[in-house]
């Protein structure tokens, strides 16, 4: 599509219009002259403790002080009790792999990573977590294999997140 | 509540539609539906537009399509339920008519995915879960979400990639007969097995394509329907359910010893209850079904989620080819999402289009005798899933007027 944009700029110069011939169908396409940069932002105030925890190497879940329901992803409000009073409990990291996949065809914003494995694990504390599984050889993956959840710096962006490694 | 019937249906050619804009694409289905019902655009009293959007330029598709199709100044709205968007649009249109708010409503599903480049489409669909906890840090994709279900099924029931390939072969077989389908070529198991991984264990030929397309349904109240047509297709029941945004919270495939989508089970049970059908061996009540096969694994899970067979027995239906025409229950005789194409917001109405034609015994005229199901029970089922069981809609159609 960026090629199409380049051709459309050339066509504007030569013919006055950003209309290009779509290569496969040979149909005329109007390439918009407007490009929309889109980077979302969202509030973390209610679960800021989770992000503080990541900096200390901890991965927190929440548990409602009234009914005891556990939440991962952590949340500040309990829909059962209509209360917003949570215990913050760090996960031990001990888990068992329930399923996994390897993403080969990636979204545009993930194009710079190698193929990555994503798994869901049952954690000892009773919640389940989805995350990348770092393993040298995917052939070693076994149903219900023991995994460990740990914080990690994601490269090349260098931000803190979490991932599974074989236990 | 009044009974509601489908009295007109229309369907565009599915595929990569660089030749039209979104309103022109909508017109293809709407004009065909109007002709089918011998009505004019001015007869429509409300337009409910299913359009998932994001990848296409128009922000107000309901307005753009109303203007182009000539339904102004009647009321309209846009409805979103991911890949179940236009089943949701039909549910809204149904309720507008059933409640007596209007007598005739138009449900339109339309999607123009190719207004954005492919990687951007993949990005948008991958965000269809819980954005922060699944996409922002872990880059999940739509095939990836279903691949997690496929792995789970393999680990529990000995499902093989070759079994899934059989479902792709069936989809392409029927799509090859459907002039409105995106893919018109037959394939074999080897073609599927040799295609590259998209999200292990799913390969390219396990996946539906990205598609532009539209489908339209005109629904009318009982008294009006009988004036319009001799073969009204009644809406017998609509079940709707919502699943967790986070896949990690799904008990059915993570906790229990089988795989499936709990929202699909719930929606099916609701629709069966409304129609007086038992969940066990539900297949025996229907002549034909359309199930949501965005990926081959999705069709397999649908057999079990709908109660067509017991848990873990879906594989047997596949291996015995029981969902081809003439089998226990013919499924996706139009090629399904997998090969007919999956224009996100148009798929629900497309399913109902095919089933309406099936029940009227007109489908064979479109796609050949082999694709017309034998109509004995006069009932058909559409199973339309949004996201990965994030939304589920099950719609039951009937030649017989629903019993109060």
Closest C-alpha to B299, from B171, B202, B128: B171
Q: Is B326 helix (H, G, I), strand (E, B) or coil?
A: coil
How large is the C-alpha radius of gyration of chain A? 23
In this structure, whether the domain defined by A92-167 belongs to CATH 2.40.50.840 is answered with: yes
CA nearest to B397, candidates B217, B264, B242: B217
DSSP E strand stretches across B304-378: none
Residue B26 forms part of a structural domain = yes
H/E stretch holding B200: strand B197-200
What total of structural domains would you count in chain B? 1
Question: Cα(B378)–Cα(B400) distance, rounded to whole angstroms?
Answer: 7
CA B122 – CA B141 distance, rounded (Å): 7
CATH of the domain at B48: 3.40.47.10
Beta-carbon separation of A107 and B151 below 8 A: no
SS3 state of residue A18:
coil
Host domain of residue B73: 4-117+210-228
Per CB-CB distance under 8 Å, the chain B contacts of A42 are 132
A-side interface with B, Cβ within 8 Å? 1, 22, 24-25, 27, 29, 32, 40, 42, 72-73, 98-111, 113, 116, 118, 120, 122, 127-132, 138, 143, 154, 161
Give the tokens for residue B300: 């397999």
Q: What is the pLDDT of residues B293-325, one digit of tens each?
A: 999 999 999 999 999 999 989 999 999 999 999
Residue B105 lies in a domain: yes
Cis bond upstream, residue B355 (ω within 30): no
Average pLDDT for B385-402: 97
Residue A1 pLDDT more than 70?
Answer: no
Which chain B positions have a beta carbon within 8 Å of A72's beta carbon? 248
The count of CB pairs under 8 A between chains A and B is 107
Q: Is B83 a catalytic residue?
A: yes
Q: For residue B359, what are its two tokens?
A: 């029940």
Cβ of A99 within 8 Å of Cβ of B155? The answer is yes
| pLDDT the model gives residue B256 | 81
pLDDT (tens digit per residue) in B101-152: 999 999 999 999 999 988 888 888 888 889 999 999 999 999 999 999 999 9
Give the residue from A118, A119, A145 with the most B CB atoms within 10 Å of its CB, the best one to mutate.
A118
Is B342 part of the annotated catalytic residue set? yes
- Interface contact B246-A24, CB threshold 8 A: no
- Spatial contact of A30 and A19, defined as CB atoms under 8 Å apart: yes
What pLDDT was estimated at residue B30? 98
> What is the distance between the alpha carbons of residues B39 and B7, in angstroms, rounded to a whole number?
10
pTM for this predicted structure: 0.97
**Tokens standing for residue A154:** 């994601």
Residues of chain A contacting B202 with CB distance shorter than 8 Å: 101
DSSP assignment of B359-381? HTT-HHHHH-GGGPPP-SS-EEE
SS3 B207: strand
Mean pLDDT across chain B: 96
Gap from A70 CA to chain B (nearest CA, Å): 11
Chain Cα centroid distance, residue B261: 15
Q: What percent of chain B has pLDDT over 90?
A: 94
Question: B interface toward A at CB cutoff 8 Å?
Answer: 16, 18-19, 57, 116-117, 119-120, 122-123, 126, 130-135, 137-141, 143-144, 147-152, 155, 196-202, 246-249, 253-254
Tokens coding A151: 């914080």
B134 contacts on A by Cβ (under 8 Å): 130
Length of chain A: 167
Q: Which residues of B touch A111 (CB under 8 A)?
A: 119
Closest by Cβ to A118, choosing from B132, B144, B197: B144
B-chain residues near A104 (CB < 8 A): 196-200
Scanning the structure block, which residue is given the tokens 């869901």? A120
Residue in A closest to B121 by C-alpha? A107
Question: What confidence tens digit (pLDDT) does each residue in B187-244 have?
Answer: 999 999 999 999 999 999 999 999 999 999 999 999 999 999 999 999 999 999 999 9
Is the pLDDT reported for residue B403 higher than 80?
A: no
CB contact under 8 A, B149 and A99: yes
Structure tokens at B273: 């209850």
Three-state secondary-structure class, residue A61: strand
Report whether the peptide linkage leading into residue B73 is cis, meaning its omega lies within 30 degrees of zero.
yes
Lowest mean pLDDT among A14-23, A35-44, A69-78, B45-54: A35-44
What pLDDT digit, counting tens, does each position of B19-64 carry? Answer: 999 999 999 999 999 999 999 999 999 999 999 999 999 999 999 9
Cα separation, A70 vs A152, whole angstroms: 24
Q: How confident is the model over A132-156, as a mean pLDDT?
A: 96
List Cα–Cα distances, B404 to A123, B237, B282, in angstroms.
49, 12, 21
pLDDT greater than 60 at residue B97? yes
Q: Which residues contact B373 (CB under 8 A, 6 or more apart)?
A: B287, B288, B325, B330, B333, B358, B363
- B61 in any annotated domain: yes
Round to whole Å and give the CA distance between B192 and B203. Answer: 7
Output the 3-class SS for B217-281. Answer: EEEEEHHHHHHHCCCCEEEEEEEEEECCCCHHHCHHHHCCCCCCCHHHHHHHHHHHHHHCCCCCC
What one-character-per-residue DSSP string does A64-127 give?
Answer: ETTT--EESS--S-BTTTTB--EEEEE---EEEEEEEEEE-S--GGGTTSPPEEEEEEEETTS-
pLDDT band at B184 (very low <50, low <70, confident <90, very high): very high
Return the pLDDT at B257. 82
Whether residue A2 is predicted with pLDDT greater than 80 in this model: the reply is: no
* Residue B184 Cα, gap to closest chain A Cα (Å): 17
Q: Where in chain A is the domain with CATH 2.40.50.840?
A: 92-167
| Partners of B234 in beta bridges | B5, B398
Tokens 């997140």 found at: A161
- Inspect the interface and report whether the beta carbons of A100 and B148 lie closer than 8 Å: yes
Which residue shows structure tokens 């097995």? B193
Angle B163-B164-B165 (CA atoms, 0-180°, nearest 5)? 90
Tell how strand A128-133 and strand A159-166 pair up. Answer: parallel
Marked catalytic residue, from B51, B65, B83, B294 = B83
SS3 B360: coil
- What is the number of other CB atoms lying within 10 angstroms of the CB of residue A43? 7
Assess if residue B99 is contained within a domain.
yes
Flag whether pLDDT at A37 surpasses 90.
Answer: no
Q: Residue A109: which of B123, B133, B144 has the nearest Cβ? A: B123
What are φ and ψ of residue B320, in 5° steps? Answer: -90, 5
- Position B92 confidence tier, pLDDT thresholds 50, 70, 90: very high
């Amino acid at each position: 599509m960026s090629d199409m944009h380049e051709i459309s700029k050339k066509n504007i110069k030569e013919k006055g219009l950003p209309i290009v011939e779509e290569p496969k169908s040979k149909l005329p396409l109007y390439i918009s002259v407007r490009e929309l940069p889109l980077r979302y932002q969202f509030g973390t105030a209610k679960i800021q403790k989770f992000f503080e925890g990541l900096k200390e190497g901890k991965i927190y879940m929440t548990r409602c002080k009234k009914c005891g329901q556990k939440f991962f992803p952590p949340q500040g409000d309990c829909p059962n009790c209509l209360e917003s009073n949570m215990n913050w409990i760090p996960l031990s990291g001990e888990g068992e792999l329930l399923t996994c996949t390897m993403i080969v065809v990636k979204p545009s914003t993930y194009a710079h990573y190698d193929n990555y494995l994503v798994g869901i694990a049952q954690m000892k504390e009773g919640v389940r977590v989805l995350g990348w599984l770092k393993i040298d050889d995917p052939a070693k993956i076994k149903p219900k294999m023991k995994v460990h959840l740990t914080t990690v710096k994601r490269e090349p962006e260098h931000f803190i997140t979490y991932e599974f490694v074989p236990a | 509540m009044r009974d509601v019937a489908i009295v007109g249906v229309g369907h565009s050619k599915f595929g990569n539609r660089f030749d039209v804009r979104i309103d022109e694409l909508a017109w293809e289905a709407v004009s065909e539906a109007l002709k089918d019902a011998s009505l004019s655009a001015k007869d429509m009293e409300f337009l409910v537009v299913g359009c998932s959007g994001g990848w296409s330029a128009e922000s107000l598709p309901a307005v753009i399509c109303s203007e182009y199709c000539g339904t102004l100044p009647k009321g309209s709205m846009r409805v979103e339920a991911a890949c179940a968007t236009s089943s949701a649009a039909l549910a809204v249109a149904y309720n507008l008519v059933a409640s007596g708010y209007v007598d005739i409503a138009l449900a339109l599903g339309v999607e123009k995915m190719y207004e954005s480049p492919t990687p951007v489409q993949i990005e948008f669909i991958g965000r269809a879960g819980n954005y922060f906890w699944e996409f922002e840090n872990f880059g999940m994709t739509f095939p990836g979400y279903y691949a997690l279900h496929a792995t789970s099924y393999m680990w529990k029931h000995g499902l093989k990639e070759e079994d899934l390939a059989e479902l792709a072969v069936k989809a392409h077989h029927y799509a090859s007969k459907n002039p409105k389908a995106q893919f018109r070529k037959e394939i074999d198991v080897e073609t599927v097995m040799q295609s590259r991984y998209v999200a292990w264990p799913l390969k390219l030929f396990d996946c539906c394509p990205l598609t532009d397309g539209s489908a339209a349904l005109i629904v009318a109240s009982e008294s009006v329907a009988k004036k319009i047509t001799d073969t009204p297709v009644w809406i017998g029941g609509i079940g709707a359910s919502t699943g967790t945004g986070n896949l990690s919270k799904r008990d059915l495939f993570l906790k229990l010893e089988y795989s499936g989508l709990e929202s699909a089970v719930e929606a099916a049970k609701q629709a069966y209850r409304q129609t007086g059908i038992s969940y066990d061996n539900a297949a025996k009540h229907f002549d034909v079904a359309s199930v949501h096969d965005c990926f081959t694994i999705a069709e397999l899970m649908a057999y079990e989620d709908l109660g067509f067979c017991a848990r873990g027995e879906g594989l047997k239906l596949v291996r015995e080819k029981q969902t081809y025409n003439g089998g226990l229950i013919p499924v996706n005789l139009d090629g399904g999402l997998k090969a007919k194409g999956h224009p996100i917001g148009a798929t629900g109405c497309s399913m109902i289009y095919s089933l309406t034609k099936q029940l009227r015994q007109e489908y064979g005229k479109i796609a050949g005798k082999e694709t017309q199901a034998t109509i004995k029970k006069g009932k058909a089922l559409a199973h339309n899933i949004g996201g990965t069981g994030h939304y589920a809609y099950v719609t039951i159609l009937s030649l017989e007027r629903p019993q109060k």
